[in-house]
Structures are given as C-alpha cells and as structure tokens.
Amino acid sequence: MTTELITVSPETEILQAAKILLENRINGIPVVNQAGKLVGILCQSDLIAQQKRLPIPSLFIFMDGLFSTSSVKQFEKQVQKIAAITVAQAMSPNPAFAEPDMNIDVVAGLMVDKGFHTIPVLHEGRLVGIVGKEDILRTLLAKPQVD
C-alpha cells in the first residue's frame, strides 16, 4: 500500500488530472471532497473514454415501432464521460475500497472483479492509502516460493 497520497477534487479540470496521472506515473487517483471524504476514483481508462467515438444506439423495428437495443442510461453515461470537463463528470463514483488489514488476495480479487487497477484504502471511513496493480505484483514477487 502506498501512503503518500495524491488526490484530486471533483472540481479539478480533466486536463490537470491527466497531467497529474502522467507526471506521477500512476493509473488512478482518489477523488476527495472538501471534507476529505472519498467520493470517487479517476483512472486512466476514464480519460481514455473521452477519446472514444460516441456509439449510435442500435435500433430495430417491430410492428411499426422503433426500439433501442442499448440502455439509455448507459448511453447518457458515455456521453457524459466523453464531454467531461471536470473530474466529477469522468470519475467512477463510490469506488470499491480495501481496508488496511485485508488480505492481498482479497484486494487483488476486488481489482479483478471491479475492473480497477487502483483501489483506495480506507480506515474508519478515512482515506489512508492506495493499492495499485504494481503493489500487488511486488507483494507476489516478495513471497517465498514453495517447492
């Protein structure tokens, strides 16, 4: 776990957040409000989503009616991420999080199950660290090999 935290606020501009991610060579950054409470996480994939072309919803006709085959809410989320100006518009809200005493296998499972490369660590609701995929790999490499 890394305890030297770099965070952004929901009001941070997307370009500034991208610069922070690149300059610090990190995959994700916790988003905290003015009270210091974790409200989301911004990952490189959220920023890459802005470069994605907007998919036109698939439609089909049935008995002279037009029906969408994609979720309107999902379409709206994609539009919002593509047009994001602030971190709040592009971040993943209410991210999965770990606790300091969690087993590394459980944290790795969270990463895989939730599709994040970065997991915030909370202790009694307060952000105390962050675990990245590199942290997981370093821990796995440090474990003694059993023959």
Structure tokens at 7: 């965070």
Tens of pLDDT, residue by residue, the chain (147 residues): 889 999 999 999 988 998 999 999 898 999 999 988 999 999 888 777 655 544 545 444 445 554 455 555 665 565 555 556 889 988 989 889 999 999 989 999 999 998 888 999 999 889 999 999 888 888 878 777 665
Phi and psi for 39 in degrees, rounded to 5? -120, -10
CA distance linking residue 129 with residue 131, whole number of Å: 7
Q: Which of 24, 17, 34 is nearest to 89 (CA)?
A: 17
**Whole-prediction pTM value?**
0.73
| Number of residues written out for the chain | 147
